[in-house]
Structure 1
Amino acid sequence: MSQITISNAKKIYHDTPVIENLNVTIPDGTLFTLLGPSGCGKTTLLRMIAGFNSIEGGDFFFGENRINQMEPSKRNIGMVFQNYAIFPHLTVKENVAFGLKQRKLSKQELEERVDKYLKLMQIDQFRDRKPENLSGGQQQRVALARALAISPDVLLMDEPLSNLDAKLRIDMRQAIKEIQKEVGITTVYVTHDQEEAMAISDQIAVMYLGEIQQIGKPKELYHRPSNEFVATFIGRTNMIPAQLLHKDGQAYIRLSDGHMIAYPALNHLEDQDVRISVRPEEFVRSVDGPIQATIKDSTYLGLNTEYIVETGFAGRIQVTEESTLDEDFGPGDIIRLEINAQKMNVFSADGKVNLLEVI
């Protein structure tokens, strides 16, 4: 196991920098996710860690060992790919044993190691099957068992669940989380699926255009995103233009229809245009709520019901609340709402800074 330290990383494709001056520390034994849209640089960074991509600048360390010039085969990594990459002509047992045979273990030690990971991944009963006789989830478990069997210092996983159906993805992400905790290996996990990242990660780095926008625990990213990109990429939110102003020394957020929200956390900042982020569940329906809203559409999703509403300050607002048996609102109905200001985030007018982080 190793802490991964990356300092001032740089990657250039065809004379164009795609990653520049990137810094991140991945603590030993954690499940760390690189999250972002396609083309943001997350897989490029993973391949630089693995040794599959060249490094044009900066330093990469596993623990105290600088790995920039180290061959991929010498880095002691386990790798799990999107397409499984298991050998179709070998049985499950032979696939898991493949990397161990390269390390010239004794027959007894090899057998013990293979048995351990077949049982850990709950595929022991399939040991003599060929991959063509396995489901997608079972094949992915084989790939994971093979990667872990060599006792790597670092486990790298590149979109490992994207080829699975929705229910199987949920089952497998839980399995990966549990197994990672059991073996305690430093794991770097790449995905574009924010729900998947939130479900499994100790920490998440949100990437965009080759830069890390924010690193934090899932709860931190959801409740206190550092900029508008993170707020809109992690979960769903309503972005609303507004003004920060002061009255009698007290800070308020004023919406375009004149509605005012006291916001003492920003008393120290000057008046300015802002953008506020309000999650759909933080618009709370209340009989005497100060915001009048007209329902334009509703979607029943079992536990929750989602509404699209029109207000005096925005033509389209998403509102989510727990479903009930006795109330059934539809298009044209008028409801009253209030905003849970404690969960609201306020960004600069360009969306680049969360003003709650400005001292």
Structure 2
Amino acid sequence: MSDIKINHAKKIYNDIPVIENLNLTIPDGSLFTLLGPSGCGKTTLLRMIAGFNSIEGGDFYFGDNRINNMEPSKRNIGMVFQNYAIFPHLTVKENVAFGLKQKKVAKQTLEKETNKYLQLMQIDQFQDRKPDQLSGGQQQRVALARALAVNPDVLLMDEPLSNLDAKLRVDMRQAIREIQHEVGITTVYVTHDQEEAMAISDAIAVMNQGKIQQVGRPKELYHRPANEFVATFIGRTNILDAQLIHDNGQTYLRFDSNYQLSFEALSEVPEQSVRVSIRPEELIRAEDGPIEATIVDSLYLGMNTEYIVNIPFANKVQVSEESTFMEDLGAGDKINLAMNAQKLNVFSADGQTNLLEVK
């Protein structure tokens, strides 16, 4: 096992740079996720780590070993793909043992390690079945067991749950997290699903257009996004235009319709136009709330109810609150809201900088 260091990585397709000057360190033993929309470069980066894509610039290291020119088979990686990629003509046990046989390990070691990962992945009862006799989730467990059985230094997982139904995805992501922590292997996990990334990861790198926007723990990315892209990609948020102003020694965020909110956290930041991010759950209903809202639509989601509302300085604002049995609000009803100022994020007018991080 080892950490992964990537320095000034560059990847070019058809003379167009798709990754340029990318730097990243993935700690030893962590479950690290590359998260971003389709086409952002996350799978390209994973394939560069694996050796399946060429590297046009920069240096890639497993621990102290530079791997740029190392054959994929020499990198001691385990790989789990979106489509499982298990052998249909082999039994479950033969699939799990495949990599060990390729390594020509002793027969006793092969049997011991194969059985270990059959049991760890809870598929030992299926060991004599062929893949077409298994569910999608069971097939993915076989693929993971096969990848782990060879004792790789690094485990790479490319959208491994995207072919599973919603409930299986939740079950499998929990299984992957538990097993990764148990074996302690450095794991790089690629997904476009932000909820999946939040649930499974020790740390996340959010990518967009070949660049890393922010690296951090899930809680850091959600509560203190580095820029507007991260704020809108991780979870849901409302983005509102405002002015940061100072008046008589006090600092305010002034929205259209002259609504203003005291915001001393930016008392040392110059006056400017800003973009304010507020999560739906931080617009709180209160009888004496200063913001009058008109409900446009409501969605009952069980534990929570989501409202789409119009307020004096913005339309189609999202509000989320815990559902109640007795109340049934709908289109046209009016409610009063207050903002939880402690949970706001305030970005520069171009959305590139969180002003709370540059005071």
When the two structures are superposed, what TM-score results if normalisation uses the length of structure 2? Answer: 0.99
- 2:261 corresponds to: 261
- Once residues 320 and 110 of structure 2 are traced to their aligned partners in structure 1, the CA distance between those partners, rounded to angstroms, is 53
- 1:89 corresponds to: 89
Equivalent AA in structure 2 for residue 194 of structure 1: Q
- 2:249 corresponds to: 249
Q: CA deviation at 1:326?
A: 2.2
- 2:111 corresponds to: 111
Paired residues for 1:108-147 under 5 Å = 108-147=108-147
1:122-145 Cα offsets, whole Å, 9 max, x none, are 000000000000000000000000
- Once residues 251 and 65 of structure 1 are traced to their aligned partners in structure 2, the CA distance between those partners, rounded to angstroms, is 52
- Once residues 50 and 214 of structure 2 are traced to their aligned partners in structure 1, the CA distance between those partners, rounded to angstroms, is 23
Equivalent AA in structure 1 for residue 188 of structure 2: V
Equivalent AA in structure 2 for residue 199 of structure 1: A
- Structure 1 SS opposite 2:258: coil
- Structure 2 SS opposite 1:34: strand
- 2:358 corresponds to: 358
- 2:302 corresponds to: 302
% identical aligned pairs: 75
- 1:192 corresponds to: 192
- 1:275 corresponds to: 275
- 1:328 corresponds to: 328
- Structure 2 SS opposite 1:287: coil
Q: CA deviation at 1:193?
A: 0.2
- Structure 2 SS opposite 1:168: helix
Q: Which runs of 5+ in 1 are unaligned?
A: none
- Once residues 22 and 209 of structure 2 are traced to their aligned partners in structure 1, the CA distance between those partners, rounded to angstroms, is 11
Equivalent AA in structure 2 for residue 123 of structure 1: I
Q: Which runs of 5+ in 2 are unaligned?
A: none
1:25-55 Cα offsets, whole Å, 9 max, x none, are 0000000000000000000000000000000
1:235-290 Cα offsets, whole Å, 9 max, x none, are 00000011000011221100111111111110111111000000000000000000
- Once residues 60 and 286 of structure 1 are traced to their aligned partners in structure 2, the CA distance between those partners, rounded to angstroms, is 53
Q: CA deviation at 1:327?
A: 1.6
Equivalent AA in structure 2 for residue 76 of structure 1: N
1:109-166 Cα offsets, whole Å, 9 max, x none, are 1000000000000000000000000000000000000000000000000000000000
Paired residues for 1:173-184 under 5 Å = 173-184=173-184
Q: What is the number of residues matched between the two proteins?
A: 359
- 2:206 corresponds to: 206
- 1:21 corresponds to: 21
Is 2:62 aligned against 1:47? no
Equivalent AA in structure 1 for residue 353 of structure 2: V
Is 2:62 aligned against 1:76? no
- 2:340 corresponds to: 340
Is 2:162 aligned against 1:162? yes
- 1:240 corresponds to: 240
- 1:219 corresponds to: 219
- Structure 2 SS opposite 1:269: coil
- Once residues 166 and 329 of structure 2 are traced to their aligned partners in structure 1, the CA distance between those partners, rounded to angstroms, is 30
1:93-123 Cα offsets, whole Å, 9 max, x none, are 0000000001111111100000000000000
- Once residues 257 and 202 of structure 2 are traced to their aligned partners in structure 1, the CA distance between those partners, rounded to angstroms, is 41
- 1:284 corresponds to: 284
- Once residues 174 and 250 of structure 1 are traced to their aligned partners in structure 2, the CA distance between those partners, rounded to angstroms, is 47
- Once residues 351 and 297 of structure 2 are traced to their aligned partners in structure 1, the CA distance between those partners, rounded to angstroms, is 28
- Once residues 255 and 84 of structure 2 are traced to their aligned partners in structure 1, the CA distance between those partners, rounded to angstroms, is 50
- Once residues 106 and 331 of structure 1 are traced to their aligned partners in structure 2, the CA distance between those partners, rounded to angstroms, is 70
- Structure 2 SS opposite 1:84: coil
